[in-house]
Amino acid sequence: MLCRLCIYLAAAQAHMDIRKIVYNLDDDEEVHGIYHQFPLAFAWQWIGGLIVLLFPFFILFLVLPWGIIGTIILVILFLIGFFWLFRTWRVWYYSILVTTDRRLVIVEQKGILDRAVSQMNLDKINDISYRKRGIIDTTFNVGTLFIQISNSQQKTELKNIQNPARRQQELFGLQGDYVEESVEEFKEEDLFGIIKEIRSRIGERRWQRIQEGNWHDKKKFIEEVGEEDDDKARAIEQFFGGSNDNQEEKK
């Protein structure tokens, strides 16, 4: 029964249209992956719902002689089982990790009508780690992903993710591609136009202090600008990266 259930859930996953769930994806944004939690992580919910759903059929001949009261009891038990299974399916189906070529989207379905959506740009991710614990995680290759964003000490936990090592590699790969494309998109004239604007806004004295400081000071400044405009922050990062390369060549 559970094997057939897993096959059905996998088929349902393959036909998911993510743009009907996450509405703010750009038209040219490419979705790379949609990952659900491991279905058997909800095993007790599936089993409990099936038991309640099928239980009326086992007591059918005992309750029907009670007349209308027995019929009402059977219908109520059947509806409870159906609702239990439907809620479990909905929580599993809509609790997903979505990766695109620009961002990471986390959808948490906490109930029938309770959904939370969070997202982070790939260049804001500071660390990705995972943990597999216990016999079940090891046997089924399931674990928890931990994602840390820049300027945050807290880590987002994504539990019951299948093949967490592969998900970690995929996210690092997408992040590298995104940062590389972001840097390459600025032409030289655009880059220096943005730098000129930033320098005039913060003043020449502060700009010189930042430029002469260590990379930690520059990174803090990039994050400060990024709170207002991500494109300008990437342009400054590209400028400082080029400056560092030139300094190393001179050495």
Alpha carbons 163 and 144: distance in angstroms, whole number: 10
pTM of the full predicted structure? 0.66
Alpha carbons 31 and 101: distance in angstroms, whole number: 7
Residue 65 burial class via C-beta count within 10 angstroms: exposed 0-12, middle 13-18, buried 19 and up: exposed
Distance (Å) of CA 229 to CA 23, 190, 222: 22, 15, 10
| 150 has a pLDDT exceeding 60 | yes
Distance (Å) of CA 102 to CA 128, 170, 221: 16, 13, 22
The pLDDT value recorded for residue 233 is 82
Residue listed under structure tokens 């560092």: 244
- 37 or 63: whose pLDDT is higher? 37
The pLDDT value recorded for residue 160 is 93
What are the tokens at 222?
């990039």
Please write the tens of the pLDDT for every residue from 85-108: 999 999 999 999 999 999 999 999
Please write the tens of the pLDDT for every residue from 173-186: 998 888 777 655 66
Element (H, E) at 245: helix 230-250
Alpha carbons 62 and 19: distance in angstroms, whole number: 49
The pLDDT value recorded for residue 176 is 86
What are the tokens at 170?
């995929």
